[in-house]
Amino acid sequence: MILIENEHLQALFTAHGAELVSLKSTHNQKEYLWQGDPEYWNGHSPILFPITGGLWNGETRIDGTVYRIPKHGFVQKQVWDVETVGPDHVTFVHSVTDEESKVFPYNYTVRVAYSFDENKLVAHFEVENRGDKPMYFQMGGHPAIALPDFQPGSKADGFLQLEGKPTHLLRAGEQGCIEMDGETPAHFDIPADKDGLVPVCEPTFANEALIFDEQLSGALVLNLKHQPLARVTSSAPVWLFWSPQGKQSPFVCLEPWYGLPDLQHFSGPIEQRAYIQKADPKAVWQGYYAVEIFHN
C-alpha cells in the first residue's frame, strides 16, 4: 500500500489495478471512499481500460478480427508498477502484456498519476500509443463515495446535484448495452425531485446506472441533506451514477467515462463505438477526473 497526503486529505493506494482504496480527511479522519464490503460491492475506485461498460455479445472488431474483452476491460486486475512516488503524489504505469495483446492488439503504456490540489484528489490519465497505427480505446474512472448517513429503509441517503442542463438519461439494458429506440439511443426521464435533485435510493437505480452523454457541465455534487459531501469533475463526455440494483446501498459511484458501452446490436468496428477515444501512432492521449471533498 502507498499513502500520500497533504494538509487536507490522505489517500491510500494499491498497485493492484493502481486503485485508490481510501480517501480520508486529515482534519477528522472521516473516510469518504467506499470500503468494499462484498455484501454490496467489493470495489473502491477501479480504473476502466481499454473499454468502459460492455460489448454487444462480448465482442469488438479490430482491423477485421473479432476480439473478446471483458466488461470494463482488464487493467483493474493487473499489478501496476510504481513509476514515481512522493509524500503527496504517486504515478502508476502499466504496459501491454502478451496475454492482453491477444484480446487488444495494440502496443501501449497506460499511466495514472494521483496528486492533490488542496481538498481535491486528481487522477490524471495518460495512454501512450507506442505502435505504428492509430489506437482506439476507452478510459473511465469509477470512484465510490460512502454515504455516512446511510440508514436501511430510509427514503434517500443522499442527493445527486447535476451541474449543467441535462434533459434525459440513457439506460443500459440487455447485456449491459445501451437501450435503443430504433436507430438511436432511447431517452428516459431523469428521476429528479421538485428541486432538481436525484435521490440516492433503491428506486433510482432500479435499472442500474443513470447514464448521461454530453449533458453535464463536467461536474456533479453528492449532497447529504442538501449539504455537499463530494464533488467530482472531469473532461469526460459521459457520466454514470451507479449503486447496486435491487437493494439500498451505503455508497454511490460517480463515474466519468471517456466512452459508452456498446449500443444494443452494435456490430461495427471498434473505431465506431460510441465516444471512442483515439491515440495516433507515437502519441499520448490524456484525461482526468478529480474528487473534491467538503469537510462536514
Q: Confidence class of residue 193 from pLDDT cuts 50, 70 and 90? A: confident
Nearest to 90 by CA among 9, 13, 6: 13
* Cis peptide, bond prior to residue 50, ω within 30 of zero: yes
User: Which amino acid is residue 71, in one-letter code?
Assistant: K
Distance CA 194, CA 172 (A): 25
pLDDT for residue 194: 82
Say which residue, 221 or 211, is predicted with more confidence: 211
Point out the least confidently predicted range of 76-85, 143-152, 248-257.
143-152
Q: What cell was used for 242?
A: 451507479
pLDDT for residue 15: 98
- Residue 220: pLDDT above 80? no
- Residue 115: pLDDT above 90? yes
Q: Are strands 227-234 and 216-224 parallel, antiparallel or unpaired?
A: antiparallel
Domain with 154 in it: 2-293
Point out the least confidently predicted range of 63-72, 81-90, 120-129, 241-250.
241-250
pLDDT for residue 153: 76
In order of 31, 160, 242, the CA distances from 229 in angstroms are 11, 10, 17
Q: What is the mean pLDDT of residues 258-265?
A: 96
Residue 219 CB partners (closer than 8 Å, separation 6+): 163, 231, 232, 233, 234
Q: Are strands 277-279 and 135-137 parallel, antiparallel or unpaired?
A: antiparallel
- Residue 95: pLDDT above 90? yes
pLDDT for residue 69: 96
- Residue 145: pLDDT above 90? yes
Beta bridge partners of 180: 185
Beta bridge partners of 258: 139
Q: Confidence class of residue 119 from pLDDT cuts 50, 70 and 90? A: very high
- Residue 285: pLDDT above 70? yes
Is 94:60 a contact under the CB 8 Å cutoff? Answer: no
Say which residue, 248 or 49, is predicted with more confidence: 49
SS in 3 state form for 57-77? HHEEEECCEEEECCCCECHHH
pLDDT for residue 241: 93
Q: What is the mean pLDDT of residues 258-278?
A: 96
- Residue 275: pLDDT above 70? yes
Is 118:104 a contact under the CB 8 Å cutoff? Answer: no
Q: Confidence class of residue 296 from pLDDT cuts 50, 70 and 90? A: low
| Total number of domains constituting the chain | 1
Q: What is the pLDDT of residues 3-52, one digit of tens each?
A: 999 999 999 999 999 999 999 999 889 999 999 999 999 999 999 999 99
Residue 272 CB partners (closer than 8 Å, separation 6+): 266
Say which residue, 159 or 18, is predicted with more confidence: 18
Say which residue, 182 or 295, is predicted with more confidence: 182
Nearest to 9 by CA among 89, 99, 103: 89
Distance CA 156, CA 144 (A): 17
Is 196:143 a contact under the CB 8 Å cutoff? Answer: no
The CATH number of residue 176's host domain is 2.70.98.10
Is 32:293 a contact under the CB 8 Å cutoff? Answer: yes
pLDDT for residue 267: 95
Point out the least confidently predicted range of 13-22, 187-196, 284-293.
187-196
